[in-house]
Every structure is written in C-alpha cells, then in structure tokens.
A and B are shown apart, each in its own frame.
Chain A
Amino acid sequence: MKHTLLKILTIFVPVLLLLVALQYSIFSVLSVRKQYQDICDSAENNIPQPNEEDSTWVQLYKEKTWLESRLNSAKSDSICLSINLKDSVIQLELKGVVLLSSPMITYSTDRLLKELTPGGYHNLFSKEVQAINDLSTIEKVPLIIKQAPKDTIEYARQSHAVDSLPNEEVHWLMQFENGIELHIEGSDSDLHKKIWRNKFWQKQNFATTLAKLKKTLRFETPEYHPRIMVVISKTDAKAIYRALPEKPLICIRM
C-alpha cells in the first residue's frame, strides 16, 4: 500500500509540476505577445512604417518626439526625469533646465521595447508619462524626529554631532502609467553582472513571479510590465529619487 502510494507520488508530483511550469511559460509568453499587440495596434494609423527597421526617418522621428515630450514636461512646475537610453544619460530637469545629468554605467531593456514598430514607439514614448507608484530602499524624505529639550541641561546631554552621511543601499523602481517599469540600481561597482542579484531585486522578482503564477493557475493571462533597468552612481540614484515629486513626469528616448 505504502509502496503504491510512493509510486503514485513519484509520478504524479513531477507531472503536475511540469504541467504547471508549462502553463506558466505559455501564459507568460502570451502576456508579452498580448502587450505587444496592444501597444502596436492602438498606435495611430498615420505613423509611417518604413521598410528599414532603423531608418534615418525613424531615428529623426524618435528625436523629435523626445524633444517634444521634454518641452511639454518643462511646462510643469515640478522636477521631471529624462531617460535618454540612446546617449546613456539620465537627467533631472526643472522648467527645461538640466539640474543633474548622470551617465548610465550600464542599462538593459526588455526585448519588447527593442522590437517596437514606429507606431508602437509613438504610442509609448511620444509623450511624457507619469509615474504612478514607486518602491525604494531609501526614504523619500529622510525625516529625523527630535523632541525639543525641556531645558539647557537636557540640551547639553543631547547628541548634536553629524560626522558623515549614512552609507545606504540605493535601489528603486517606478511604474509608469503606460505600464513600463523603471528599475534604478545605485552602484559604484563595475561588477555589472552581479549588480541585480541583491535582496531588494530578488524580493521584487519573487513577488512578481508569485503573482504571475497565481494568475496563470487561474488560467488568466498575467500582467506584463516591460522593464528598463539602469545602473547609475549611488549618489546620483539617491539624489534623483529624493528630488522627484510623488508622481513625476518622465520622458524616455530609446
């Protein structure tokens, strides 16, 4: 009896796991295809589709939309973020003035963003987008609560020395209204391959995978958010995150 049960378990569990994994893979691929279709199909019809994928016209079109979106965001009174993947620069801008320009140490994007048609590109990047939420290892406002001393004796007892800034890990991500996720890694290291293997990103990946797995088990296509992953210096990553308002405007140039 026990032997039969073990045999069933040995066959049933691996087959079940294999089926679930297969289901997960199929639905994940479907989610990417669906997103791609949605982006490219909802694009305006009057955007020409030149034969060459990387034609001069497409490049100029990208440049024009990039400048237009930056000009539009300059009308806002808030600090905006410009992500120029073509020149590998990330900039903080206020009223069109560049406040901080940080060179990217390295970056990568999901394949979907590389394979966009001009129409799809127009749909995603022709206008500035708004960030809808963010997550970070550092606080937006690093408030320190201090109780006022009752008298001068208590004041003398308090510590007032500030010798250095805390050495914090700086990783943050932002999700934009067009579904794109921006992952920023603050690092001064040149070990690029190991950069994304820290606790913060692993935790995010695990949470995303789990949510996707739950959806696929219900036979639903999970949400797919194309990612832009950028590594910049830790100081700049911190400065940019803290300078940006709650829901900043973002301009992207691929």
Chain B
Amino acid sequence: MKTKLLKYYLQSLQQIDRLKLARNIRTPLVLIISVLVFVSVILFFTPWLMNQPLFFKTQQKHAEQKMEEPDATMLKVGIVLLQKKIDRLTPGGVYLVINTSDNSFSLYKNKELVREGACSTGSYIKLEAGNEKSWIFETPKGVFTIRGKVTDPVWRKPDWAFVEEGLAVPPPGDPSRYEYGVLGDYALSLGDGYLIHGTLYKRFLGLPVTHGCVRMGDDDLETVYNTLPIGAKVFIF
C-alpha cells in the first residue's frame, strides 16, 4: 500500500516535469502544497474527525449495560420537591437587583418585575493620595438588606471627597463636611456607608461614576423608596 502511494507520488512529480515546469519551481511548489495539506489536516480535518459520532458509538457498546427503562415516578416527585425548594429561595415580597456592569436596576414585587431603569454605580477609580492612602470607588457585590430610610438626606463628606478635589481634609464634625440637597429627596442605607440615593447629575445615569453608592433618577428613587421596606433584600452584581 505504502509503496503504491509512493509510486503514485513519484508519478505525480514526473507529471509536473512533463508539464515542463521549471525544476526550480517544482520544489517550492511541492513544499507549499505539503505545508497547506499539513495545516489543513491540523486545523480542519482533525477537529472534524474528533467530532465524528463513530468513535463514541463504538465505545458506548462496551460502556453501557442496557436495561429496561426504570420507573420515573420517584424522579418526578423529587423534581417537584426540588423545584419548590428553589422557588422558596427567591424572596416573596419585594427586592431590588442592581447590575453594576450595565448600571441598571430591577425592582421585583411578588417575584414579578415591577420597575427597571438606569442607575449609576461605582466608577472603579482608585484614588491614590501622596500619603500612601488610597480609596477604590467600587459598589460592593452580594446580598444586602435595607438598614434604614431617610428623607432629605444630608451628605456627610468623607476624607476622600476633599482629597479628590485637592482640598485640605477638615476635622470630623467640621461644618464643611455637611452638604445639603446633593443626595436627592430620599436615601436608603445598605450599611458600611453605602446608600441608594438621588443625584443632581442625571445625565450620568447609566454610567459608572459614583464613589460606591447607587444613584437613581428622582422618579425611580421615589418608587424604590416607597416599595422597599427596612429589611428588604438588595442583590448587587
């Protein structure tokens, strides 16, 4: 078989000679064709071959010990129970889901989507101060609960708010630390200083621009404030 193939190959070479192709063209031509065939086998033929059902069918005969179909009643009962368990994991009341990548939120009530819209979340800016201090403006991910709700919130500016603007950091309790009217009409606390609040910069809704808090538009914020009670779950991803 091998000798036959070799003979055939040599004959083909002679045919090329017969075509009066210059001898110095023949070698590169043969080499190029060989490389092309090689690449095709590696990149196309082998992956195709690896996906042929033939190889698996042959093996299945050895691997399996066929039998009659077992009774599926217990499986059906098990599935119903498991499905119920999974369904129970989703809060039955109200909860909020915040997508920090897309900067959007979805509000659910009785497992139904009742409102969705744009919000703003952490900018992922790492602010580095000269004194080896740094802050990462990131909205934390995970499950949170609404810990508190306030109307007409006042922003108590943390150190980074001054450092970021090139200002000297005032002592705690200094009047310059308090800013009124910048957080909108409502704020819901998620703990650790993170809030869901309003914004003056509505054009940035849908963009990651905050220092970690979640900003919403006025109408969305009002709905969220009125819908979510203290203790309601907030899922951030």
Contact = CB atoms under 8 A, between A and B. Distances in A.
A and B, one complex? Answer: yes
Interface of A: 3, 6, 9-11, 13-14, 17-18, 20-22, 24-25, 28-29, 32-33, 36-37, 40-41, 48-52, 55-57, 60-61, 63-64, 67-68, 70-71, 74, 77, 79, 92, 94-100, 110-112, 115, 117, 119-120, 141-155, 162-165, 205, 209, 213, 224, 235, 238-239, 242-243
B90 A148 contact: no
Interface in B22-39: 23, 26-27, 30-31, 33-35, 37-38
Interface string B209-235: 100000000000000000000000101
30 contacts: A14-B31, A17-B34, A17-B35, A25-B46, A29-B55, A33-B59, A36-B55, A37-B63, A48-B67, A48-B69, A48-B70, A57-B70, A67-B82, A67-B83, A70-B86, A71-B82, A79-B237, A96-B86, A97-B89, A100-B97, A115-B57, A144-B126, A146-B126, A147-B128, A148-B130, A150-B166, A154-B166, A213-B42, A242-B100, A243-B237
Given A115-B57, A150-B130, A155-B165, 7 more contacts: A24-B46, A40-B60, A57-B75, A63-B79, A68-B82, A111-B56, A145-B126
B68 A99 contact: no
A68 B77 CA distance: 13
B43 to A, nearest CB: 7
A97 B95 contact: yes
Contact of A148 (B91, B97, B166): B166
Given A21-B42, A57-B70, A110-B51, A242 B167 contact: no
Given A97-B235, A152-B165, A29 B50 contact: yes
Contacts of B57: 115
A60 B79 contact: yes
Contacts of B91: 97
Contacts of B42: 21, 24, 209, 213
Contacts of A155: 164-166
Contacts of A153: 166
B60 A117 contact: yes
A165 B59 contact: no
Interface string B101-125: 1100000000000000000000111
Interface in B162-185: 163-167
B49 interface: yes
Contacts of A163: 207
A67 B77 CA distance: 13
Interface stretch (B136-144, B145-153, B190-198): B136-144
Contacts of A17: 34-35, 37-38
A10 B30 contact: yes
B27 A40 contact: no
A146 B125 contact: yes
Interface of B: 9-10, 13, 23, 26-27, 30-31, 33-35, 37-38, 41-43, 45-46, 49-53, 55-57, 59-60, 63-70, 72, 75-76, 78-79, 82-83, 85-86, 89-91, 95, 97, 99-102, 123-130, 136, 138, 141-143, 163-167, 204, 207-209, 233, 235, 237
A30 to B, nearest CB: 10
A199 B53 CA distance: 30
Nearest to A63: B79
A20 B38 contact: yes
A10 B26 contact: yes
A249 B51 CA distance: 28
Contacts of A52: 69
B70 to A, nearest CB: 5
A117 B57 CA distance: 10
Contact of B124 (A60, A142, A152): A142
Nearest to B66: A51
Contacts of A162: 123, 204, 207-209
Contact of A61 (B27, B43, B55, B75): B75
B212 to A, nearest CB: 13
A76 B72 CA distance: 30
A104 B125 CA distance: 32
B235 A99 contact: yes
A238 B95 CA distance: 23
Nearest to B75: A60
